[in-house]
Amino acid sequence: MRREFKLPDVGEGLTEAEIVRWHVRPGDEVKVNQIVVEIETAKSIVELPIPWDGQVTGLLADEGQTVDVGGPIIAIETGEPADPQTAALAEDLVPAPPAEGAVEPGAHGSPAPKEERQAVLVGYGVKTGATRRRTRRTTSTIPADPVANPSRVELEGPPSGAAPQPATATGAGRAALAKPPVRKLAKDLGVDLATLTGTGPQGSITREDVRAATASQPQPEPQAQAQPQAGEERIPVKGVRKMTAQAMVASAFTAPHVTEFLQVDVTETMDAVRRLRTLPDFAEVKVSPLLLVAKAVLTAARRHPMINSSWDEAAQEIVVKHYVNLGIAAATPRGLVVPNVKNAHQLSLPGLAAELAQLTETARAGRTQPAEMAGGTITITNVGVFGVDAGTPILNPGESAILAFGQVRDMPWVVDGALAVRKVTTLALSFDHRVVDGELGSLFLRDVGAMLEDPLRMLAWS
């Protein structure tokens, strides 16, 4: 018997999740509670176990696809004979479509168009459109006082909710009866409640009444989902891309950015990198120019603590951090992530090298956890690996400075009055001008440059 596993609500009221990674492929045998997929919800990455033994007959959603709660994601052939009773039991977890009228498109399909959904505590989320609701009997069959309870104390009078209301009372001069969610719906859809006649209890206006009113209203030009033109592709914005976009917009439009540039002769640094690699202390770790850039930033940040601070808008205070969580922008298959090395200022050089290596490896494998990205205080972005000289980086939100490290290449350079071929790079420092003035930014950038020009200065200033 073919069964479809539907995306459950794994976190109290979630409405959708993104498929991160399938652990199985069509044809695979699975056992009860075997992990078949990782999903990313608004709260966390969660592994989902399959509830049946059987064979995978199809993956119904692609990696990267966002699926609504209740949408089928994987089909399993369980091998049991199709027993209509048990099948009905299992399917009962999702409310059946309304008995009358056509099933709306997408009610059972996977990526349905966005619909309003109720948060539910147990099981799959419920689509309002698909909720099976028993119809009320006509008002006349309800006794005026639903309870003829002799024990009722006369002083209480009739229960207010049960007071019989003529349906015509909704007419002019009376506020229309409608529950708050219905009022909200009407407001959103631009329907004037006073113009409607309610069909609900006591003549109250229901969702259906509001919807019906919009159907009869002249439709505004449908805000159709933008269709891709010929030669265009439309990629939904989600996951890391969405996060990056939000963070960058937030940063670019709250912190006034200033960017300064400095070209530096890093021949000595490249030489130092080569010599460090031969030292036994660094036998186990990777020594890269980035390591010395990181060390230079840490050293310069200690000389100029204000660079390693953040702007607290709510408190109208500048928070100066006396520790450095050094962020490293990393390009990963899932997009840009900026994990940081916690308490980088306390690490030895080999320790820093090891942390940097582990952090980039984790990021490339796509396993960076949110905690590893939180709490950064200053960031380095190594744009040189892309083969460019410089850029104007945007601050990681909550930080006051970011250093872009360009490619290192052979350039004509004046040394002691004579032209020479040297290893040259470009440093670009963006900083938040609310916190850091041009003078401080320049001092910091110049210090980093000086240390890369002559790594001995790192010793001198350590």
Q: Catalytic residue numbers?
A: 433
Q: Which of 81, 99, 102, 135 binds another protein (CB under 8 A)?
A: 135
Residues 311, 432: Cα–Cα separation, whole Å: 9
Contacts with another protein in 13-32 (CB under 8 A)? 32
User: Rule CB under 8 A: is residue 113 a binding residue for another protein?
Assistant: no
- Looking at residue 390, the DSSP 8-state letter turns out to be -
Q: Which of 102, 122, 226, 314 binds another protein (CB under 8 A)?
A: 122
User: Which of the ranges 46-54, 293-301, 324-332, 347-355 carries the binding residues for another protein, by CB under 8 A?
Assistant: 46-54
Nearer to another protein, 33 or 254 (CB): 33
* Long-range CB contacts for residues 48-51, cutoff 8 Å, separation at least 24: 48/5, 48/8, 48/10, 50/5, 50/74, 50/76, 51/5
Q: Could you tell me which residues come within 8 angstroms of residue 338 by beta carbon, excluding any fewer than 6 positions away?
A: 327, 328, 329, 330, 373, 376, 379, 396
User: Rule CB under 8 A: is residue 42 a binding residue for another protein?
Assistant: no
Residues 315-354, one symbol each (x = binds another protein by CB under 8 A, - = not), give ----------------------------------------
User: Which of the ranges 40-48, 56-64, 432-440, 441-449 carries the binding residues for another protein, by CB under 8 A?
Assistant: 40-48
Q: How far is the CB of 226 from another protein (least distance, A)?
A: 33
Q: Which two tokens stand for residue 69?
A: 């709660």
Q: How far is the CB of 197 from another protein (least distance, A)?
A: 21
Q: Report the DSSP pairing between strands 309-312 and 66-68.
A: unpaired
Q: How far is the CB of 375 from another protein (least distance, A)?
A: 11
Residues 264, 204: Cα–Cα separation, whole Å: 75
Which amino acid does the sequence have at 326? L
User: Rule CB under 8 A: is residue 410 a binding residue for another protein?
Assistant: no
Helix (H) or strand (E) holding 214: helix 207-216
Nearer to another protein, 92 or 437 (CB): 92
Q: How far is the CB of 277 from another protein (least distance, A)?
A: 28
Give me the sign of the Cα torsion angle 171, 174, 177, 181: positive
Contacts with another protein in 413-442 (CB under 8 A)? none
Q: Which of 5, 282, 311, 444 binds another protein (CB under 8 A)?
A: 5
SS3 call for 402:
strand
What does the angle CA 43 – CA 47 – CA 48 come to, to the nearest 5 degrees? 110
User: Rule CB under 8 A: is residue 369 a binding residue for another protein?
Assistant: yes
Nearer to another protein, 131 or 254 (CB): 131
